[in-house]
Amino acid sequence: MKCLYFDDALTFIEDYPQPRRGKGEALIKVHYGAICNTDKEIIKGYKGFQGILGHEFVGIVEDAENSAYINKRVVGKINLGCGECERCSQGHSNHCENRRVLGITNKEGVFAQYITLPLANLHLVPDTVEDLEAVFAEPLAAALEITEQCHIKPTHKVAIVGNGKLGQLIGQVLSLTGCDLTILGRSEKTLFLLKNRARAQLISQVDYESYFDVVVDATGNQAGLSYAQKIVKPMGKVVLKSTYNDQALLDPTLWVVKEITLVGSRCGPIGAALRLMEKKLVSVKELIGGVYTLEEYQAAFAEQHALKSVFKMIGNKD
Distances (CA, A) of 166 to 32, 158, 284, 285: 18, 16, 11, 13
Q: Please count the residues of this chain forming the interface with Zn ion, following the rule CB under 5 A.
A: 7
DSSP β-ladder status, 157-161 and 180-185: parallel
The distance of closest approach from Cβ of residue 79 to Zn ion in the complex, given in angstroms and rounded to an integer, is: 10
- Taking CB under 5 A as the criterion, which residues in 45-74 touch Zn ion? none
- Closest CB to Zn ion among residues 82, 314: 82
Check binding of 36 to Zn ion (CB under 5 A).
yes
The distance of closest approach from Cβ of residue 103 to Zn ion in the complex, given in angstroms and rounded to an integer, is: 9
The distance of closest approach from Cβ of residue 98 to Zn ion in the complex, given in angstroms and rounded to an integer, is: 5
- Taking CB under 5 A as the criterion, which residues in 70-129 touch Zn ion? 81-82, 85, 88, 96
- Closest CB to Zn ion among residues 45, 252: 45
- Closest CB to Zn ion among residues 36, 132: 36
Residue 88 to residue 263: CA distance in whole angstroms: 22
- Closest CB to Zn ion among residues 3, 141: 141
Residue 311 to residue 317: CA distance in whole angstroms: 9
Check binding of 238 to Zn ion (CB under 5 A).
no
Strand ranges inside 65-132, DSSP E: 73-76, 79-80, 100-101, 114-118, 122-124
Residue 7 to residue 210: CA distance in whole angstroms: 44
The distance of closest approach from Cβ of residue 204 to Zn ion in the complex, given in angstroms and rounded to an integer, is: 28
The distance of closest approach from Cβ of residue 174 to Zn ion in the complex, given in angstroms and rounded to an integer, is: 18
Cβ of 1: how many Cβ atoms within 10 Å?
18
Task: Kindly indicate which of the ranges 20-28, 36-44, 216-224, 268-276 contains the residues binding Zn ion, using the contact rule CB under 5 A.
Answer: 36-44
Q: Provide the H-helix boundaries in 47-155.
A: 86-89, 131-134, 137-149
Q: What residues make contact with Zn ion under the rule CB under 5 A?
A: 36, 38, 81-82, 85, 88, 96
